[in-house]
Amino acid sequence: MAGMIRGVLPVLHTPLLEDETIDRDALAREIDWCYEVGADGVCGAMVSEVLRLTYEERGELTRLMAELSKGRGVVVASVGAESTRQALVYARQAEEAGCDAVMAIPPVTTAIPEAALWDYFATIARECALPLIVQDASSYVGNAISIDFYRRLLDEFGAEKIRFKPEASPIGPNLSALRDATAGQALIYDGSGGILLVDAYRRGITGTMPGVDLLDGIVALWNALRAGDDKATYRISFPISALVALQLQAGLDGFLAIEKYLLVKRGIFTSAQRCTPHAWDLDEETQAEVDRLFDRLMQALADE
């Protein structure tokens, strides 16, 4: 299904029990809901808390993503790690689980030189049979990846093997720069959580990888963009953008706290438990604003 890695591909949040182990029942509900509202697949990535899961839990998440998807869409596993050897272990797990692609961020504990970064991504690409999505997660962690580096990867491995999820600021101009530097050959995914989706779509992205919490809104927004319906596009995008702006103020933990809160509010998760420690908790005033904006999004969707 490599050619079908496009459209709305939400990044799953990992539901946790009180002891911080994976809640399989809640994960099944989450994946079912993704497909019910029109997702084209599911992904594991930063907001799946992959960097905070144990080795065993990360492998379990990859297996469950594929198992619980039941062929309803593509499955993209997160394999980025602090060493090439670790990344290859995760990539082999993804292959064995039946995933359709892998996505990797660079190592984040040290700023490695470009030659070492090339060896890291090139080795994953050569030794893993699945398409590789190169994720610049510098909005959360690590350093930005250059456009020239992306272009070199594309020239070496081709567009079906290597795809891109650039998240370095400014995101929109960087998307256009990558598109233009590769003569439109690069397959690019938006990773802004929805706040920049309208702009990114108009720059020629292949798909978007938001969180699950606002997925019904993101699917409706994607469909409005495809239909060229500007009225619906902006009616839906404004509350989504305002919600994501609240998440952005606290970085990764801002996304996790608000997104899991909304999944509990929707009845998909029974707990907003996150891996500990974390840097930020949802305060009452932010929660009240999240509730107000969520109501506005639900009204916008009801008006469609």
Q: Is the dihedral of CA 208, 212, 214, 219 positive or negative?
A: positive
How far CA 201 is from CA of 28, 71, 162, in Å, comes to 30, 27, 20
Kindly state the DSSP code that residue 188 receives in the 8-state scheme.
B
Q: What is the C-alpha radius of gyration for the chain, rounded to an integer number of angstroms?
A: 18
In angstroms, the CA 42 to CA 34 distance is 8
Query: 275-287 burial string, b = 16+ CB within 10 Å, else e?
Result: beeeebebeeebe
Q: Does 1 carry a binding-site annotation? A: no
Q: With beta carbons less than 8 A apart as the criterion, state whether 127 and 97 touch.
A: no
Spatial distance between the Cα atoms of 80 and 145, rounded to a whole number of angstroms: 14
Give the DSSP H or E segment for 94. helix 84-97
Tokens of 184: 């439109």
Tell me the DSSP string of 112-144.
--HHHHHHHHHHHHHH-SS-EEEEE-TTTSS-P
- Residue type at 18 in one-letter notation: E
**Which residues are annotated as part of the binding site?**
209
**Which residues are annotated as part of the binding site for pyruvate?**
209
